[in-house]
Amino acid sequence: VTTDPDVVASFEEDWTGRWRGRAACVVRPRSTDEVVAVVRACAAHGVAIVPQGGNTGLVGGSVPRAGEVVLSLRRLDAVEPVDAAAAEIVVGAGATLAAVQSVARAAGLEFAVDIAPRASCTIGGMIATNAGGAHVIRFGMMAEQVIGVEAVCADGSVVGRVPDLRKNNAGYHLGALLAGSEGTLAVITRAHLRLVPALPERAVALVGVPGAAEAVQAIAALRRLPSLVALEIAFAEAIDLACRFARTECPLSAGFGAALLAECAGRTSPLEELADAVTALGALALDAAVATDASGIARLWALREGIPDAIRAEGVPHKLDVAVPVARIPEFERAVRERVASLAPGARVVVFGHAGDGNLHVNVLGLAADDEAVDDAVLRLAADLGGSIAAEHGVGVAKVRALALTRSAADRAALRSLKRAFDPAGLLNPGVAVPPD
Ligand SMILES: Cc1cc2nc3c(=O)[nH]c(=O)nc-3n(C[C@H](O)[C@H](O)[C@H](O)COP(=O)(O)OP(=O)(O)OC[C@H]3O[C@@H](n4cnc5c(N)ncnc54)[C@H](O)[C@@H]3O)c2cc1C
């Protein structure tokens, strides 16, 4: 248990710097039994808990708000040996994504979900946010990787089964239920995950297109590639920012409005398949850069993955993670820029995301931390276009008020019932994910 303000401070603020609060203390258990003891002690004293993994969440759900106990799971970081016969692995909730990837790769396998903060984000946090990332288009989100979980409920009881079985319909699927629960239903302590075959041969293309309309046409063409594992988008201002931040020249010649990053992978080289597809884009593609060697691939991905850091270096962003039907990306992109310009004329809009999933990250720079007008307008726009106000980062505190835009009254009542059933005293991450009555 630590109350040292210098140590506690890093647990009290989120990655963006937009969300910060105050913690009574930080508790760092090493085992499920110790998590049980902490949860029981908090329950006995009516003290609220904020579970925290790597603290890389982007919706304010991992930071304390008003004197809660921060329950850090990072010390539960065991990664057990891969079960090669089943292509599965059991890990502690505090294991980082990078640690799991490294053990899986050593066994000739791969963990299917990949996100940029891999060295810090934890499997527990990724399940709790139902993280997505670049490979959803091929392998699905975190919920689809979870075979079983072990979790500590608000009363200190331990539920779930680890290891579990891929086929186990004896009751509700607890892993699926806790995926996206953002620390509000139970504290995840261990997880049993599926792994996928490694696809060692890769090819990546960065393709400049005139704008969002052409991007959608290119997405339709590239999506047909059997070896496609990622299909990302960044509009010109995002690529420009990332290049300036990395002090590197843009691999595309100037004049593009948006860039698509397509990655193909297989047991044999997918280069020909990808190169043919890019050539077949014809006039849609203004320019393209293709890489097959590890360093070239890393350089192209670094541009895409460097965008959040490049934005953060410019100021404290409002990060609005939304999804819209892929075909409506152009409509959304145009309207977002118009609405932000009319509400906050000096603000800068930087848009990028996972194109194949219709998932756009709208970043707005130049707003006060508590200015909600632009956030509301962007989320309302996504909802009006048949989209989601929270695509992969979760609801957290950032979007709890906006849930009503896309969740019916009956849905919201069901969320509250579930919350009450798991956590009747409301001590697990209060104020997060579940809308008030
Ligand atoms: C640069 C950057 C890029 C990112 N890219 C992506 C991306 O491509 N796709 C994507 O989906 N996300 C992305 N994210 C956000 C993503 O949600 C988080 O990185 C990750 O899933 C959270 O893991 P964490 O361990 O840091 O959790 P934290 O931030 O510590 O917590 C996140 C939430 O989970 C809860 N929680 C944490 N651990 C547990 C546990 N053991 N039991 C119960 N609840 C728990 C917390 O209370 C909180 O509500 C990105 C973040 C950054 C900073």
Q: Which residues contact 282 (CB under 8 A, 6 or more apart)?
A: none
Greatest distance between any 2 Cα atoms in the chain: 67
| Mean of all residue pLDDT scores within the chain | 97
CB-based burial label for 129 (10 Å; 0-12, 13-18, 19+) = buried
Whether the bond between 163 and the residue before it is cis, its omega within 30 degrees of 0, is: yes
188 CB under 6 A from ligand 1? yes
Given pLDDT bands bounded at 50, 70 and 90, which one contains residue 437?
confident
Pocket test for ligand 1, best of 76, 97, 121, 184 (most atoms within 8 A of CB): 121
Nearest CA owner, ligand 1 atom 37: 125
Bin 170: left if φ > 0, else alpha if -120 < ψ < 50, else beta: beta
Sign of CA dihedral 79, 85, 87, 90: negative
DSSP 310: H
Instruction: Report pTM.
Output: 0.97
96 CB under 6 A from ligand 1? no
State mean pLDDT over 72-80: 98
Given pLDDT bands bounded at 50, 70 and 90, which one contains residue 131?
very high
Quick check: 133 pLDDT over 90?
yes
CB 401 within 8 A of CB 356: no
State mean pLDDT over 98-104: 98
Nearest CA owner, ligand 1 atom 8: 133
Quick check: 370 pLDDT over 90?
no
62 CB under 6 A from ligand 1? yes
Quick check: 419 pLDDT over 90?
yes
What the block records as the tokens of 213 is 């309309």
153 CB under 6 A from ligand 1? no
Q: Give me ligand 1 centre to Cα 414, in Å.
A: 24
Quick check: 369 pLDDT over 90?
no
The rounded percent of the chain whose pLDDT value lies above 70 is 100
Ligand 1, closest atom to CA 429? Answer: 47
Quick check: 405 pLDDT over 90?
yes
52 CB under 6 A from ligand 1? yes
Ligand 1, closest atom to CA 308? Answer: 1
State mean pLDDT over 163-181: 97
CA distance linking residue 218 with residue 226, whole number of Å: 15
Pocket test for ligand 1, best of 14, 77, 111, 115 (most atoms within 8 A of CB): 115
Ligand 1, closest atom to CA 128? Answer: 34
Quick check: 142 pLDDT over 90?
yes
154 CB under 6 A from ligand 1? no
183 CB under 6 A from ligand 1? yes
308 CB under 6 A from ligand 1? yes
CB-based burial label for 344 (10 Å; 0-12, 13-18, 19+) = buried
What the block records as the tokens of 143 is 């919920």
Q: Give me ligand 1 centre to Cα 283, in Å.
A: 39
Ligand 1, closest atom to CA 127? Answer: 21
pLDDT confidence of residue 55? 98
pLDDT digits (tens, 9 = 90+) for 191-213: 999 999 999 999 999 999 999 99
Strand partners, 92: 190
The alpha carbon of residue 368 and the mean position of all alpha carbons in its chain are separated, in whole angstroms, by 24
Beta strands in 251-327 (DSSP E): 258-266, 287-291, 318-323
303 CB under 6 A from ligand 1? no
61 CB under 6 A from ligand 1? yes
Q: Give me ligand 1 centre to Cα 394, in Å.
A: 9
Ligand 1, closest atom to CA 126? Answer: 21
pLDDT digits (tens, 9 = 90+) for 301-347: 999 999 999 999 999 999 999 999 999 999 999 999 999 999 999 99
CA distance linking residue 388 with residue 380, whole number of Å: 9
Given pLDDT bands bounded at 50, 70 and 90, which one contains residue 127?
very high
230 CB under 6 A from ligand 1? no
93 CB under 6 A from ligand 1? yes
123 CB under 6 A from ligand 1? no
Quick check: 143 pLDDT over 90?
yes
The rounded percent of the chain whose pLDDT value lies above 90 is 99
Quick check: 259 pLDDT over 90?
yes
State mean pLDDT over 118-146: 98
Ligand 1, closest atom to CA 142? Answer: 11
Quick check: 365 pLDDT over 90?
yes
pLDDT confidence of residue 291? 97
Q: Give me ligand 1 centre to Cα 128, in Å.
A: 7
116 CB under 6 A from ligand 1? yes
